[in-house]
């Protein structure tokens, strides 16, 4: 009988899940670059590519001149020169796929747009339905908040939410006190205050004091598609007597955990994997996990800060 995994081994497994695109058995070697206006913005899996080939007015397929069965890359048609036109044409295509019930990803249609660009601070080349971005492997951004307080007897504690059982993704799993994807054109701080208020009833008078502390990046793959994600991280110290309240139904309840308790939770399957990395980053930055005592310390850091520009 195998010995039970240590906390470090379980945490490393979570990090590997968040970077499953780099693991053996992924579709990485079979993906083709996706370009807009000559700039690489994503990756296309074979199961998506077969549908793009049927729409030459929208997608241009470049093939090897000596072996036409070998596809080199996929580009948005150069005839679609304006961001608004690209957005409209691709949306029509996606709506068609949605009604054909082709992809699992599109069952979670959000009616929310993500920006498509090379990296966050570069020109937005178009906008795309959030649930479809995984089909094109475009970079996705979000905002995550570590809500913590100093308890009078337990010391530093962290508020953790439980996702609603009705959530389209990762239902019932533990999550940060507030978090959300970054919609096209919305400033990061505006998104933070919006998510805090809507998910945990944290008023702007409190959330405006959140401190930016960095970011994490990782690349996972699942049945819905490819997810090269970057999360902007914030620490928010909450008043000791403040209790987050369910507001928009994204969360079902909140718990106040000691840091030792939350450390144990993030290495379990009960916690949403990418949100576990957000908490892990907090624990490292605040000195609760040290390089002298943690054998996988550097592997943790490397796995939370993948260079997505190298892949995309």
Q: What is the pLDDT of residues 68-93, one digit of tens each?
A: 789 999 999 999 999 999 999 999 99
- pLDDT tens for the chain, 312 residues long, are 678 999 999 999 999 999 999 999 999 999 999 999 999 999 999 999 999 999 999 999 999 988 878 999 999 999 999 999 999 999 999 999 999 999 999 999 999 999 999 999 999 999 999 999 999 999 999 999 999 999 999 999 999 999 999 988 899 999 999 999 999 999 999 999 999 999 999 999 999 999 999 999 999 999 999 999 999 999 999 999 999 999 988 899 999 999 999 999 999 999 999 999 999 999 999 999 999 999 999 999 999 999 999 888
Residue with tokens 């590997």: 16
In 3-state terms, what secondary structure has residue 230?
strand
Q: Measuring CA to CA, which residue among 93, 119, 121 is closest to residue 106?
A: 93
Model confidence, pTM? 0.96
pLDDT of residue 250: 84
Q: How do 155-163 and 251-258 pair as beta strands?
A: antiparallel
Please give the biggest Cα pair distance in the chain: 72
pLDDT value at position 2? 75
On whether the CB atoms of residues 32 and 43 are closer than 8 A, the answer is: yes
Taking the C-alpha atoms of residue 100 and residue 42, their distance in angstroms, rounded to an integer, is 24
pLDDT at 68: 79
170, 261 contact by CB (below 8 A):
no
């Amino acid at each position: 009988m195998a010995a039970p995994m240590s906390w470090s081994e379980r945490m490393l497994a979570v990090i590997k899940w968040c970077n499953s695109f780099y693991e053996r058995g992924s579709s990485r070697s079979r993906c083709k670059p996706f370009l807009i206006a000559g700039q690489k913005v994503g990756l296309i899996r074979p199961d998506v590519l077969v549908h793009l080939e049927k729409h030459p007015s929208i997608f241009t397929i470049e093939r090897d001149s000596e072996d036409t069965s070998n596809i080199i890359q996929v580009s948005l048609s150069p005839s679609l020169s304006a961001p608004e036109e690209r957005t409209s044409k691709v949306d029509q295509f996606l709506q068609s796929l949605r009604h054909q019930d082709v992809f699992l990803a599109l069952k979670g249609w959000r009616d929310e747009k993500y920006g498509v660009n090379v990296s966050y601070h570069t020109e937005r080349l178009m906008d795309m339905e959030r649930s479809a971005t995984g089909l094109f492997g475009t970079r996705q951004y979000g905002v995550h908040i570590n809500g913590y307080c100093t308890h009078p007897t337990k010391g530093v504690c962290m508020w953790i939410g439980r996702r609603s059982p009705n959530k389209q993704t990762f239902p019932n799993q533990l999550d940060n006190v507030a978090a959300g994807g970054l919609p096209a054109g919305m400033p990061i701080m505006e998104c933070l205050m919006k998510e805090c208020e809507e998910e945990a009833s944290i008023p702007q008078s409190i959330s405006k004091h959140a401190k930016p502390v960095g970011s994490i990046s990782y690349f996972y793959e699942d049945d819905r598609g490819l997810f090269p994600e970057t999360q902007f991280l914030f620490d928010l110290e909450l008043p000791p007597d403040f209790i987050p309240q369910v507001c928009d139904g994204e969360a079902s309840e909140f718990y106040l955990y000691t840091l030792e308790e939350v450390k144990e939770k993030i290495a379990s399957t009960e916690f949403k994997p990418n949100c576990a990395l957000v908490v892990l980053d907090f624990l490292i930055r605040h000195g609760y996990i040290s390089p002298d005592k943690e054998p996988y310390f550097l592997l943790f850091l490397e796995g939370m800060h993948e260079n997505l520009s190298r892949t995309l």
